[in-house]
Structure 1
């Protein structure tokens, strides 16, 4: 049985009244957490083996149910496991193809993958995560999802601010928080909780948001979300944003009565705080969540500090270079065998080489001084007199119907994920895509009816 902190119980009895508070406590203690998943619209094959009868309200291609990280649907980037309530912030940001969007606290990648779908490979997604270990997971999930237009960074928000002043059309800040909304699925969140921790989170959220506002274009949209109930981290933060930066609190229409309004009386009584949304576990959508949508004025008063020019004295990164004719020929010998999605059609003119890695950049990073983990689509690696396609390319090629495919059996599927060579009966030779149940998993190379395994070592089971 979950034991809630005494201070937490007293706090929400005071805020909600004893009857409503007891309903919340019962939902946390006695009701099972909700699990959900989304189906990737960027992939050609969307026919999953899971039950798709129980739809999550409002969110497209989203269903209640539990998936396994060992299933081909997950390995291929066809599904993403995500708390149902956590799907709403990226839905609310409503990114349009061609826009520049920043997901500032992006790991593990659920919201970034959803934004990437909205952009449809057009425009720019900057997905940032300050933690190196979590940033690695973010990169893996975006590559698995088949995203071509992401710049993945691992840096502090204030460092990004100097590089991207007034740059983004839309910014999502899913802020680090006290995690009260995760209590019924995360015992550590309960153990870590205190009112002092709530206030420390508020201080950190203000620092992150101050950086975010500096990167937002005039009339740009900021979506702020947390997975906590705490007014200090929700209504009070939105009130602070509205007063300090003159951001307008926008209404959010979802078309469902399962979501509650924010509480103006839990902050400064600004009536527009009722435009914000609260997801309570008692409503049975998912775990606890808060979301607000705000708009920057057309002429923001806030002065900008820092710019890319200020960083010219820093040590320059190694230059990216365009491939020569011989290198183009090596790359074409592989790529021309596959059906390329639209994002890759102009690879000959768009691709660059850096340390022998061939990639199509999502963003020109000349003079950009941030920690970059990935930029756009890595096509593969140039080695002596040959080109070796990369794993991300396989995930992107899954957007189109392909013919150079080896379909695995149940036993060979397990062997492939282990990194083993596999005996195959095929007339195909050279690099091929490897699939199981029509879900593309990665590359292999066939010679003498043996499939050499190119599934990345870091992903193997």
Structure 2
């Protein structure tokens, strides 16, 4: 990697802010970045992976230092997620409980969303939103791989989402778009678009996002604010904005690693020491800031009232979008499902059909918002037959299965990822789950001894 060259304006700023500590900060920015991954506790026997689990990330459940590959079966089957170790702490700090309604407002590529889904343990709801359409597609793929069925993936503007979900969530995570100073060591290109003007632009955008986020949080609900920058304008100063302008109170989190928030940079707020700054010299990971808040006041009542008045109309429109799901069609789906072991939380009675897609919705009324995935897609009805979805295969990976074709070696695994057929000696027929190293990652269909490939074209290598 090329040597990191910091902008003079950046160095001058932090020399002034950090004084004697500035030299150790700049030196730490030249060190090698750390890499880590999390295991997926939703998957069957999830700790049976080929990676070294001897170096845990302090204070983060199922997280370890080490590097993984996106070509490995552990990644393809959703058993692991590669994530910067510092970036693991915001989801941990939010302290989500099973059964809660949670929003990940700026969710792509999905690291924090998958961690929140792990914490929810198949109970409650996660809405994972991303305003960028291209990044939202990547978010959907990563969440699908994780194998949870209780997530709504949206591609929405924050203000539209706020109209849809007034005072709805128990907890919200806002990992806000920022100037990216914390990524300088890991991604030298991040330096090229940095300027003090950009820092201030990001600060204004963060306030706009939070102005809408507060409308979606229940009174007494939790908000976790985080960035991957060191800038006080985007960190402690935003904390002051949340407390002084939006009715929040800073609270302690279960994250005790890293450094405290700096009072002088945040108007000496009560509780600013509860915030956490991940400096490179802390030797945890890349740059990160986090702070947790409780909403102590009711704000924006007019917006909330107006949104509730619209909700009845939305329900009627949503119902029109659903098609009649006939008894014969339901039997087709149930016939396929009967071949597999289903997780305890599976409830077919809630299944619906739209444009021949059969799914179990995480949210019933999704009118007037852009939805990429709602809950658990079971598959597609096609002229008297039912074809299961890739998401269903990953979801079924939560429990051990019997109707499985186990690929015998790395070459077969790579052939399947490429979209090729494989052969089997198993006495099976019809749709089967495909596994490698006892990790389910797709569907196939057996005819004779040939397994037709159902790994999605968009995921093929």
Residue of structure 2 equivalent to 1:269: 268
CA contact (8 A) 2:403 2:433 kept: yes
Q: Would you say 1:411 and 2:411 are equivalent positions?
A: yes
- State the distance in 2 between where 1:315 and 1:339 align: 35
- State the distance in 1 between where 2:315 and 2:78 align: 38
Deviations along 1:66-94, whole A, 9 cap, x unmatched?
A: 10000000000000000000000001111
- State the distance in 2 between where 1:222 and 1:329 align: 44
- State the distance in 1 between where 2:269 and 2:422 align: 65
Task: Write out aligned runs for 1:47-62 (5 A).
Answer: 47-62=48-63
- State the distance in 2 between where 1:303 and 1:73 align: 47
- State the distance in 2 between where 1:138 and 1:410 align: 27
Distance 1:265 1:185, change over 3 A: same
Deviations along 1:311-346, whole A, 9 cap, x unmatched?
A: 7499946522452211111111110000000222x2
Q: C-alpha displacement at 1:309, in angstroms?
A: 3.7
- State the distance in 1 between where 2:45 and 2:433 align: 14
Residue of structure 2 equivalent to 1:45: 45
- State the distance in 2 between where 1:95 and 1:322 align: 37
Q: C-alpha displacement at 1:246, in angstroms?
A: 1.9
- State the distance in 2 between where 1:90 and 1:313 align: 31
- State the distance in 1 between where 2:322 and 2:109 align: 28
Q: C-alpha displacement at 1:304, in angstroms?
A: 3.5
Q: Would you say 1:453 and 2:453 are equivalent positions?
A: yes
In structure 1, the residue corresponding to 2:442 is in which secondary structure? strand
- State the distance in 2 between where 1:66 and 1:221 align: 32
Task: Write out aligned runs for 1:219-368 (5 A).
Answer: 219-256=220-257, 259-297=258-296, 299-305=297-303, 306-307=306-307, 309-310=309-310, 312=313, 316=317, 319-321=321-323, 323-344=325-346, 346-347=347-348, 349-365=349-365, 368=367
Residue of structure 2 equivalent to 1:213: 214
| TM-score normalized with structure 1 length | 0.96
In structure 2, the residue corresponding to 1:406 is in which secondary structure? strand
In structure 2, the residue corresponding to 1:451 is in which secondary structure? strand
- State the distance in 1 between where 2:203 and 2:255 align: 27
Residue of structure 1 equivalent to 2:148: 147
Q: C-alpha displacement at 1:308, in angstroms?
A: 5.2
- State the distance in 2 between where 1:313 and 1:123 align: 22
Residue of structure 2 equivalent to 1:426: 426
**Alignment coverage as a number of residue pairs:** 453
CA contact (8 A) 1:245 1:300 kept: no
- State the distance in 1 between where 2:340 and 2:252 align: 46
Deviations along 1:229-263, whole A, 9 cap, x unmatched?
A: 0000000000011000121011223344xx11101
Q: C-alpha displacement at 1:221, in angstroms?
A: 0.4
Q: Which runs of 5+ in 1 are unaligned?
A: none
